[in-house]
Chains A and B, each alone.
Chain A
Amino acid sequence: KQEVTQIPAALSVPEGENLVLNCSFTDSAIYNLQWFRQDPGKGLTSLLLIQSSQREQTSGRLNASLDKSSGRSTLYIAASQPGDSATYLCAVNVLPGTYKYIFGTGTRLKVLA
């Protein structure tokens, strides 16, 4: 059974720091991995999607990497800003099957001004 874990569960950093969020999954048979951002009580905003054949994806200050063999992904946020404060979730498609997402436990990020 696929399990997805995110470390740390919470993180508080001063503005301007570069930071790394970690996502681990137990079964490497995934189709893709997606990172989301969620503000309190709000919906899921897709940040980056990494296909299983890819190693990394970049969008602005965000860079996500994927190492399927070790069951890990990292989300790198450069020059953090207070507006980055949110919960970050990773999710993996389950293979074989219907490609439903299994979500990680999330990392609550707070960037202090």
Chain B
Amino acid sequence: AAGVIQSPRHLIKEKRETATLKCYPIPRHDTVYWYQQGPGQDPQFLISFYEKMQSDKGSIPDRFSAQQFSDYHSELNMSSLELGDSALYFCASSPQRAEQFFGPGTRLTVL
């Protein structure tokens, strides 16, 4: 069965650089969620999209932005990266806001 695809799987950036993370949901899933998991912490909700519209926003810094495109894939854009942005970023998709299926995550390291 198709799963959620995230790219890249690993990303290394310098401080103040920009990063773009991509998420490809399971086909026919209309909702995408982004979560951030810092070292030793539980995942924290960042932002979600339902039918290509932003549906909820959590503790997402103003330096971050995201969108969902017409093909339902989503991108998380992160600018002016800080050391504290180093984390595992998960994308999840769900059909009509039901069970969430998580991708493998993107590990971002900011040096």
Contact = CB atoms under 8 A, between A and B. Distances in A.
Contacts, number: 58
24 contacts: A31-B97, A36-B102, A41-B107, A43-B88, A43-B105, A44-B43, A44-B105, A46-B102, A49-B99, A91-B43, A97-B56, A98-B48, A98-B55, A99-B31, A99-B97, A99-B100, A100-B33, A100-B48, A101-B33, A101-B45, A101-B92, A101-B100, A102-B45, A105-B42
A104 to B, nearest CB: 6
A98 B43 contact: no
In which size bucket is the chain B interface? 20 to 34
B50 A98 contact: yes
A44 B45 contact: no
Interface in B49-104: 50, 55-56, 58, 88, 90, 92, 94, 97-104
Nearest to A99: B97
B11 to A, nearest CB: 15
A51 B19 CA distance: 36
Given A99-B100, A101-B100, 10 more contacts: A32-B98, A32-B99, A34-B100, A43-B104, A46-B102, A98-B50, A99-B31, A100-B33, A101-B92, A104-B42
Contacts of A43: 88, 90, 102-105
B31 A44 contact: no
B34 to A, nearest CB: 10
Interface string B22-57: 000000000101010000001111001010000110
A99 B33 CA distance: 10
Contacts of A91: 43
Contacts of A97: 56
A46 B102 CA distance: 8
Contacts of B50: 98
Given A34-B100, A43-B103, A44-B102, A100 B45 contact: yes
